[in-house]
Amino acid sequence: MTGRHPIRYGLAYSVVRPWSHYGLSPAETTIADVFREAGYQTAITGKWHLGHTHVRLLPRSRGFDHFYGHVNGAIDYFAHNRGEAIDWQRNGETLKEKGYTTDLLAAEASRWIRARDRSRPFFLYVPWNAPHTPLQAPDDLLNKYSFIKETRSRTYAAMVDAMDRGIGQVISTLEQEQIIGDTLIVFLSDNGGPRGAGADNGSLRAGKATVFEGGLRVPAAMYWRGQIKPGITDQVATILDLLPTLASAAGVRVNTPQPLDGIDLWPQLSAGKVIERGELFFAVQGDTGPKQHALRLGPWKLVRIGATEHLFDVVNDPDEKNDVAAANSERVNYLRARMDKWIALHPPSEIITSQHPHPGWVPPSDWAQAAVR
């Protein structure tokens, strides 16, 4: 959302829990702010998950003209609840709709595109909750994958299929509106798949909620008919690059008070060139276990799990099978010092202490109405 590393504003280690009062700092400029300032219509259909207890933390206070979806993660795909409370809204008004969330999000995105002001450009953000847990899918798709015997993997495949179907619906709408050639489409995941929920990260080590490649390395696709040549690039990029890169592609000026950590990759991506990146820092702490950090510089990646450190050459060893820290002590020392500087950026916050609810926390009956106004 910001082009800045979340360690700078206290969101590096975990997500916003239902019982948490924090969110993305209102002092941060979002990608929606940037595009709206440039005259774009802006909308989000999907999962927000960046703060829900006050309207100042909600999408319509963060640069989005239109919000449809849910503020928490892990909602029920059919009941649209998080816990016992309904978490489904349009612009602050609770909705009691029937349907599978993935299908509803696709329908809303298409509806919004068709109802847009055709005299102005638009920025549409569609953060699907699929295939996040809980593992739920429509019966027709579960039956389609009945040949997969393991229940979790079968449901996971069905959920991804539903998302693919929804993406196809949105793209078809762009074609019907005859603006597919004027639209840059980006698809990517926020993290590697959770193996325990049926995901498959191939040979990459580990998965979601880790700083190993299985938790970090995901495919991404960009499509702009007539502007991007088909093919595969080896360019290393992160989600932090989205704001400067998309703004560059659209010719939109980025005027943020804080410096960005992401870089503009549009010249390289549009020309089919590859550049080497500088330092890339990663951090996470799951529900249990110590903090995890990683720092990549060129082919080298230092991984720290608690007090244990590993060094990998992730260009030649992307599966992180060979720890070469013992043979590269000077490189480890240099990367360790750089990592410590990144870690020190994290401001004081409650994010680690709020992994579990206070014993006296009582969930609301309606998430949209629970936000302080």
31 band by pLDDT with thresholds 50, 70 and 90: very high
What string of DSSP letters covers 118-156? TTS-EEEE----TTPSS----HHHHHHTTT--SHHHHHH
Summarised one tens digit per residue, pLDDT across range 169-211 is 999 999 999 999 999 999 999 999 999 999 999 999 999 999 9
Predicted local distance difference test score (pLDDT) of residue 93: 97
132 band by pLDDT with thresholds 50, 70 and 90: very high
Contact 105, 97 (CB under 8 A): no
What mean pLDDT comes out for the span 97-126?
A: 98
Predicted local distance difference test score (pLDDT) of residue 289: 84
**What value does the mean pLDDT of the chain take?**
96
Quote the Cα angle for 296-246-275, to 5°: 40
- Residues 214 and 322: their CA atoms lie apart, in Å, by 15
What string of DSSP letters covers 253-285? ----SSPPSS---HHHHHHT-------EEEEE-
What mean pLDDT comes out for the span 142-152?
A: 97
β-strands 292-297, 300-305 pairing? antiparallel
Query: Does residue 299 carry a pLDDT above 80?
Result: yes
Query: Does residue 46 carry a pLDDT above 90?
Result: yes
Query: Does residue 295 carry a pLDDT above 90?
Result: yes
Summarised one tens digit per residue, pLDDT across range 249-278 is 999 999 999 999 999 999 999 998 999 999
Contact 32, 63 (CB under 8 A): yes
Summarised one tens digit per residue, pLDDT across range 52-107 is 999 999 999 999 999 999 999 999 999 999 999 999 999 999 999 999 999 999 99
The SS3 of residue 354 is coil
Of 354, 369, 368, 365, the residue nearest 21 (C-alpha): 354
Query: Does residue 353 carry a pLDDT above 80?
Result: no
Query: Does residue 352 carry a pLDDT above 80?
Result: no
Q: Higher-confidence residue: 131 or 355? A: 131
Predicted local distance difference test score (pLDDT) of residue 348: 83
Please give the backbone phi and psi of residue 158, each rounded to the nearest 5 degrees, phi first: -65, -35
Query: Does residue 351 carry a pLDDT above 80?
Result: no
Predicted local distance difference test score (pLDDT) of residue 118: 97
Query: Does residue 47 carry a pLDDT above 90?
Result: yes
Of 46, 87, 67, the residue nearest 170 (C-alpha): 46
Predicted local distance difference test score (pLDDT) of residue 349: 81
Contacts of 199 (CB under 8 A, 6+ apart): 131, 156, 192, 193, 207, 208
The SS3 of residue 297 is strand
Say which CATH superfamily domain 6-274 falls into: Alkaline Phosphatase, subunit A (3.40.720.10)
335 band by pLDDT with thresholds 50, 70 and 90: very high
358 band by pLDDT with thresholds 50, 70 and 90: confident
What mean pLDDT comes out for the span 137-162?
A: 98
Predicted local distance difference test score (pLDDT) of residue 288: 75
Q: What percent of the chain has pLDDT over 70?
A: 100
Predicted local distance difference test score (pLDDT) of residue 324: 98
Segments making up each domain of the chain, as ranges: 6-274
Inter-helix orientation angle 101-115/151-176, to 10°: 10
What mean pLDDT comes out for the span 281-300?
A: 92
What mean pLDDT comes out for the span 333-341?
A: 98
What mean pLDDT comes out for the span 214-232?
A: 94
Predicted local distance difference test score (pLDDT) of residue 350: 78
286 band by pLDDT with thresholds 50, 70 and 90: confident
